[in-house]
Amino acid sequence: MTAFSIASAGTPGEEYPVKREDVVIRDPFVLVYEGKYYMYGTGLNPGGYGCVVSEDLENWSAPHAVYSFPEGFDVAGDYWAPECHYYEGSFYLFATYRIGSTDKRGTAVFRADHPLGPFEMISDGPVTPHNTDCIDGTLYVDPDGQPWIVYVGEWTSAEDGIGDMRCAKLSDDLSKTVSDAAVLFKADSPLWTDNGVTDGPFLYTTSSGRLIMLWSNMSPSGYALASAVSVSGKVTGPWLQSVSPLYQKDGFHENDGGHGMIFRDLDGNLRLSLHSPNYSNETDHEKAVFLYVYDVGGSIVVKDQSSRFYKLLSAVICSFFKMINKFRSGFSVSVSVSDSQC
Residue 272 near residue 293 (C-beta atoms within 8 A): yes
- Which amino acid is present at 273? S
Residue 95 near residue 81 (C-beta atoms within 8 A): yes
pLDDT for 298 equals 87
In a domain, 198, yes or no: yes
In a domain, 265, yes or no: yes
Our CA angle for 260, 236, 91, nearest 5°, is 50
Q: What is the largest CA-CA distance in the chain?
A: 67
In a domain, 187, yes or no: yes
Long-range contacts, stretch 140-146, CB < 8 angstroms, 24+ apart: 140/167, 140/203, 140/235, 141/87, 142/234, 142/235
Give CA separation, 138 vs 37, 39, 41, 75, 240, in Å.
Answer: 19, 15, 13, 20, 20
* pLDDT tens per residue, range 322-339: 566 555 555 444 343 333
Residue 86 has pLDDT above 90, yes or no: yes
* pLDDT tens per residue, range 227-261: 999 999 999 999 999 999 999 999 889 999 999 99
In a domain, 13, yes or no: no
* pLDDT tens per residue, range 124-137: 999 999 999 999 99
- Using DSSP's 3-state secondary structure scheme, residue 227 falls into strand
In a domain, 274, yes or no: yes
pLDDT for 321 equals 63
In a domain, 132, yes or no: yes
**341 pLDDT tier (thresholds 50, 70, 90):** very low
In a domain, 165, yes or no: yes
User: Domain of 77?
Assistant: 18-341
Residue 41 has pLDDT above 60, yes or no: yes
pLDDT for 333 equals 42
| CATH value at residue 296 | 2.115.10.20
pLDDT for 312 equals 55
Q: Kindly give, in sequence order, each residue whose CB lies less than 8 Å from that of residue 59, ignoring residues fewer than 6 positions away.
A: 16, 17, 18, 19, 20
Q: How far apart are the first and last CA of the chain?
A: 46
In a domain, 255, yes or no: yes
Report the domain count for the chain.
1
Number of H helices, E strands in the chain: 1, 22
Q: Please give the mean pLDDT across all residues of the chain.
A: 90
